[in-house]
């Protein structure tokens, strides 16, 4: 994280916002998930994001302005079951990290928020659909049908759905928003 931000300092001069996203997960029966697997997911999804928040935060706090948006997940606010234990634990930690950093830095001009996507059409999701189908002994098509059925807006989410909210949170129209987690998941968190 340090070398990335040193490059940004040298090339761009400053950091105005951070859209903080990383993806890793495993889908497995909670009785089969190992401590090593939990540590790996937490290292990538929580510790790695914290390092980026810390480096961006230092620079933003020095200028007295900036916005950090942590991409969390529906899994951080509701239990998904179906083998998501490690990912859900990590996303819950990202949600709490967001609240803590927003409390620490709000009075110093830096806003920290989160976005909680649901079932987003990405390469990572395609892999997880296959894992979940195997774990539940159903077809990948049935997994997707279940995701759509769990989403009141009736479709899978697109990356652009998330990006639009991140752009809003990083922009001036969100200048009085901090410590929030915005549900961008087609209503899936309701269930």
Contact 122, 161 (CB under 8 A): no
> How many CB atoms lie under 10 A from the CB of residue 171?
11
- The answer, yes or no, to whether residue 111 has pLDDT greater than 90, is yes
**Hey, what are 61's tokens?**
């706090």
Contacts of 46 (CB under 8 A, 6+ apart): 90, 93, 94, 97
CB-based burial label for 21 (10 Å; 0-12, 13-18, 19+)? middle
87 labelled catalytic: yes
> How many CB atoms lie under 10 A from the CB of residue 137?
7
Q: Which residue is associated with the tokens 């889908």?
A: 27
Q: What is the pLDDT of residues 141-185, one digit of tens each?
A: 999 999 999 999 999 999 999 999 999 999 999 999 999 999 999
Q: Of residues 50, 87, 119, 147, which has the active-site annotation? A: 87
Confidence of residue 49 (pLDDT cuts 50, 70, 90): very high
Q: What is the DSSP string of 64-130?
A: T-EEEEEE--GGGTS---TT-HHHHHHHHHHHHHHHHHHHHHGGGTEEEEEEEE-SB-SHHHHHHHH
**Hey, what are 25's tokens?**
């997960």
Question: pTM for the full model?
Answer: 0.91
Rounded mean pLDDT of the chain? 92
- The answer, yes or no, to whether residue 75 has pLDDT greater than 90, is no
Better pLDDT: 28 or 63: 63
């Amino acid at each position: 994280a340090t070398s990335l931000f040193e490059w940004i300092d040298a090339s761009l001069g400053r950091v105005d916002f951070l859209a903080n996203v990383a993806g890793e997960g495993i889908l497995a029966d909670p009785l089969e998930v190992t401590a090593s697997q939990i540590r790996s997911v937490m290292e990538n999804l929580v510790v790695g994001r914290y390092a980026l928040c810390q480096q961006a935060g230092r620079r933003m706090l020095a200028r007295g302005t900036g916005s950090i948006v942590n991409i969390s997940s529906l899994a951080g606010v509701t239990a998904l079951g179906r083998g998501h234990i490690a990912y859900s634990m990590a996303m819950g930690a990202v949600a709490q990290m967001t609240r803590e950093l927003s409390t620490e830095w709000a009075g110093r001009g830096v806003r920290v928020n989160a976005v909680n996507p649901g079932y987003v059409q990405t390469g990572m999701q395609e892999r997880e659909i296959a894992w979940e189908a195997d774990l539940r002994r159903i077809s990948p098509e049935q997994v997707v049908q279940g995701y759509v059925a769990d989403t009141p807006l009736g479709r899978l989410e697109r990356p652009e759905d998330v990006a639009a909210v991140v752009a809003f949170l990083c922009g001036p129209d969100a200048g009085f928003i901090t410590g929030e987690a915005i549900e961008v998941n087609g209503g899936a968190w309701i269930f």
